[in-house]
Amino acid sequence: MSSPSSPAESAAAVATADGPRDFIRQIVREDLAAGKHVAIHTRFPPEPNGYLHIGHAKAICLSFGIAREFNGWCNLRLDDTNPGKEDPEFVQGIKDDVRWLGYDWHNLRHASDYFDVFYRAALKLIGDGLAYVDDLSAEEMRAYRGTLTEPGRNSPHRGRSIEENLDLFRRMRAGEFADGSRTLRAKIDMAAGNINLRDPALYRIRKVTHQNTGDAWPIYPMYDFAHALSDAMEGITHSLCTLEFEDHRPLYDWCVDKVDLPSHPELWQSVVAAGLEAKPAKPRQIEFSRLNLSYCITSKRKLAQLVNEGFVDGWDDPRMNTLRGLRRRGFTAAGIRLLIERVGVSKQNSVIDYAIFENCVREDLDATAPRRMAVLDPLKLVITNLPEGHAETLVFANHPKDEGFGTREVPFARELWIEREDFAEVPPKGWKRLVPGGEVRLRGVGIVKCDKVLKDADGNVAGLHCTLDPESRAGLPGADRKVKGTIHWVSAAHAVAAEVRLYDRLFNVPAPDAEADGRPWTAHINPDAKRVVQGWIEPAAAQAEPEQRCQFERLGYFVADRVDHRVDAPVFNRVVTLRDTWAAKA
């Protein structure tokens, strides 16, 4: 028996294997082939100040996917450096969403796990003359910072001695100063062409209770500082982020290089004390274009506004493009992964048509969703040549393309519900469904002819009387007789009442937050994004477990609501229609 391959051999083998060939994976392959890394280590670092949305899915699939493809590891790291906006509820939600998408992490970490390391690293930078305590207010710092065309000016406090800076920073740590009264800034270059290098803030005073560390710290590190050092401490080899961080890369590298964890045993001892086992690394930051979908917003602030101002029913409202909302809507993790695969990875920003996303979900559901019958706008159809009380059980395939789904029993009786839109007194051109005196095939039953139209006092169609051609039943000589249309049905005596929520896109314009027409983005909320109807479903549909998906034949794909659905009180959400209904609107 051959011995197991080493991590390096395993990664090298994967590096030459077939797989996606985007530019990031090519970089990874080249790094492995050159022997730069024993194993690939990535991370996904969301801030727990809200729920993840569809834009995060690309970062999740990329970071976790690359780690999986190259037999490496991916950490889930909660970037909890901004207390006051973060919440344990969001932490749990992030973990749930990542797992739902089909991924798990090598280590679960919090940036707050490293607060002691960040503090010691800041003391080291001060001691090396590379950081100073500044008394300028935020407004004054902006004024001193300069513009894209004009250099910044040195703060009057930039020349403080190392001893004074160390004293002030320690007193900041002790909680001696008021919020916002002082910051620790990197001493780089106020004339740098990249504004991010103009003495950026590394620490600020914020006396706010932290969701993970309580009141232990009155000062908190800034994102750029904490993120770079966290990557280095965790041994991250490839730090993948979206294009807006491209201009931050020089600062990222500056923080890693100037702190230089491997060369300072005292600092590294504090890393070990934080529970890390990886050797410190010089991570490589690589940027990619974010996922932008039409008819969507991905601003956390605006998503929170939708929730807080009551435009939706919560973070998991099926109209929201949060991962929780998409999950409750019935979108599948496989459909989302398929979207990310098809969009690909590049450095070119673009907007992807939402219809592509819907089609990815349809493609997945077409193969995985069993079929059921439901009627959402019922019209009574009575088969008059069947006796009163007639009832029988028919056997239907659960999936027309896959016998492995098996069969189910469907009750059939004299009185049926059909969709109101499947009957027209005055049919339009090309009509193939039921008309007075016309014939149509009842799905799985046979051919019926409309003999009589019943109307209410207002002249509205209230019911149909039809006759069934007994020779057209399955297995009989007339079963092959041709008619133009086939419609579905449910037995009125056996059907189960269900609440059916018909969801659609939340916005009715492709770029809702562009505000090109001078109207606020909330003015573009689609009033038809949610309609609730009472439908009738066959008994097998009512037995669905929460989150079980199916196709209601001829109507669309639906899911049993993961919160509200019960067998004795079914609630279904429409995932997507059977075909794109927005193309005609464009």
Q: Which of 290, 420, 449, 554 is catalytic?
A: 290
Q: Would you state the pLDDT for residue 514?
A: 86
DSSP string covering 362-389, please? HHHHHHHPPEE-EESSEEEEEETTSPTT
351 and 427 within one domain: no
Q: Which of 46, 45, 43, 49 is nearest to 89 (CA)?
A: 49
559 and 419 within one domain: no
pLDDT tens string 240-274: 999 999 999 999 999 999 999 888 777 777 777 77
How far apart, in whole angstroms, are the C-alpha atoms of residue 457 and residue 47? 61
pLDDT tens string 470-501: 999 888 888 888 999 999 999 999 999 999 99
Q: Among this protein's residues, is 429 annotated catalytic?
A: no
- What burial class does residue 106 get, using C-beta atoms within 10 Å of its C-beta: 0-12 exposed, 13-18 middle, 19+ buried? middle
Give the least confident one: 1-5, 147-151, 408-412.
1-5
Q: Which of 452, 474, 470 is nearest to 382 (CA)?
A: 452
Q: Among this protein's residues, is 300 annotated catalytic?
A: yes
466 and 335 within one domain: no
Q: What phi and psi values does residue 74 have, to the nearest 5 degrees?
A: -135, 130
CB-facing half-sphere around the CA of 394: CA atoms within 13 A: 22
Last residue of a domain, one of 462, 488, 514: 488
pLDDT above 60: residue 181:
yes
Please report where in the chains the tokens 């100073």 appear, as a residue. 132
369 and 379 within one domain: no
Last residue of a domain, one of 436, 454, 488: 488
Last residue of a domain, one of 488, 523, 538: 488
Q: Give the rounded distance of the alpha carbon of 433 from its chain centre.
A: 39
pLDDT tens string 171-180: 999 999 999 9
Q: Is residue 332 part of a domain?
A: yes
406 and 509 within one domain: no
pLDDT above 90: residue 198:
yes
Q: Is residue 174 part of a domain?
A: no
Please report where in the chains the tokens 């449910």 appear, as a residue. 490
pLDDT above 50: residue 4:
no
pLDDT above 60: residue 5:
no
Span 186-212, average pLDDT:
96
503 and 366 within one domain: yes
Q: Is residue 571 part of a domain?
A: yes
Q: Is residue 53 part of a domain?
A: no
581 and 502 within one domain: yes
545 and 439 within one domain: no
Q: Which of 120, 173, 258, 300 is catalytic?
A: 300
Q: Is residue 353 part of a domain?
A: yes
Q: Would you state the pLDDT for residue 17?
A: 52
Report the binding-site residues for ATP.
Answer: 47-49, 53-59, 242, 290-291
Report the binding-site residues.
Answer: 47-49, 53-59, 79, 223, 242, 290-291
Q: Which of 47, 69, 415, 547 is catalytic?
A: 47
Q: Would you state the pLDDT for residue 278?
A: 60
Q: Is residue 9 part of a domain?
A: no
Q: Is residue 227 part of a domain?
A: no
Give the least confident one: 82-86, 194-198, 414-418.
82-86
Residues 6 or more apart whose Cβ sits within 8 Å of residue 79: 45, 46, 47, 48, 111, 223, 226, 227
Banded pLDDT at 584 (limits 50, 70, 90) = low
pLDDT tens string 18-35: 567 899 999 999 999 999
pLDDT tens string 329-346: 999 999 999 999 999 999
400 and 548 within one domain: no
562 and 544 within one domain: yes
- Domain that residue 575 falls in: 291-373+494-586
For residue 565, the domain's CATH number is 2.40.240.10
499 and 360 within one domain: yes
Length of the chain: 586
pLDDT tens string 89-106: 999 999 999 999 999 998
Instruction: Find the helix or strand (DSSP H, E) in which 357 lies.
Output: helix 354-368
Span 514-530, average pLDDT:
91
Angle between helices 23-33 and 7-15 (to 10 degrees): 130
pLDDT tens string 452-476: 999 999 999 999 999 999 999 888 8
pLDDT above 70: residue 11:
no
Token pair recorded at residue 11: 């990664």
357 and 500 within one domain: yes
Report the binding-site residues for L-glutamine.
Answer: 79, 223
Q: Would you state the pLDDT for residue 1?
A: 35
Banded pLDDT at 231 (limits 50, 70, 90) = very high
Q: Would you state the pLDDT for residue 221?
A: 98
Q: Would you state the pLDDT for residue 19?
A: 63
Q: Would you state the pLDDT for residue 267?
A: 78
pLDDT tens string 338-376: 999 999 999 998 999 999 999 999 999 999 999 999 999
pLDDT above 80: residue 152:
yes
Q: Would you state the pLDDT for residue 117?
A: 92
**Mean pLDDT of all residues belonging to the chain:** 93
Number of domains composing the chain? 2
Banded pLDDT at 2 (limits 50, 70, 90) = very low
Q: Within 10 Å of residue 226's Cβ, how many Cβ atoms?
A: 27
Q: Is residue 400 part of a domain?
A: yes
Q: Would you state the pLDDT for residue 143?
A: 95
The percent of residues above 70 in pLDDT, for the chain, comes to: 95
If one compares 135 and 579, the residue with the highest pLDDT of the two is 135
Span 506-534, average pLDDT:
93
pLDDT tens string 277-316: 666 678 999 999 999 999 999 999 999 999 999 999 999 9
